[in-house]
Amino acid sequence: MPSSVKEMLAEANAAVPRLSPAEMRTRMDGNALILDVRDPSEVQASGKIKGAVNVSRGMLEFRADPESPYHNPAFQKDKTVLVYCASGGRSALVGKTLKDFGYGAVYNIGGFKELADAGLETEPA
């Protein structure tokens, strides 16, 4: 059991592969969920990757669990999940949580600015 944030991040990064923006593009298809786990205020300030679903890290388990009354139907365990945040830390932790929940194909795609700078299309919140 991790006893620090550093250990949690190391465990999450070991469990969830990190993709570059170019690698991420190869995973984007009709069966992929692009997940933005930044807080709503961050998304309001900068927008999001086009088509991404925003679920703040604090609500993730409730949205991802099909048994939860707060489940978001965009979360399906047979989908590829591409997770990003501001820099990649929260997305690693979320990726690990999703894997623990039984989601198979989960990838950390890093930070919003890196993705936008690589030419991924964005949209307002």
Q: Which domain holds residue 94?
A: 5-123
With 90 as the cut, is the pLDDT of residue 30 above it?
no
pLDDT of residue 47: 97
Measured between alpha carbons, how far is 37 from 59 in angstroms, rounded to an integer? Answer: 9
Tens-digit pLDDT profile for residues 47-70: 999 999 999 999 999 999 999 999
For residue 65, give the CATH number of its domain.
Answer: 3.40.250.10
Helix (H, G, I), strand (E, B) or coil at 26: helix
Helix, strand, or coil (residue 123): strand
Total structural domains within the chain: 1
Cα–Cα distance for residue pair 67/60, rounded to 1 Å: 13
Residue 54's CB: how many other CB atoms inside 10 A?
Answer: 18
Length of the chain: 125
Are the CB atoms for 80 and 33 separated by under 8 Å? yes
Residue 34 pLDDT > 90, yes or no?
yes
pTM value? Answer: 0.95
The whole-number average pLDDT for the span 94-112 is 97
pLDDT band at 17 (very low <50, low <70, confident <90, very high): very high
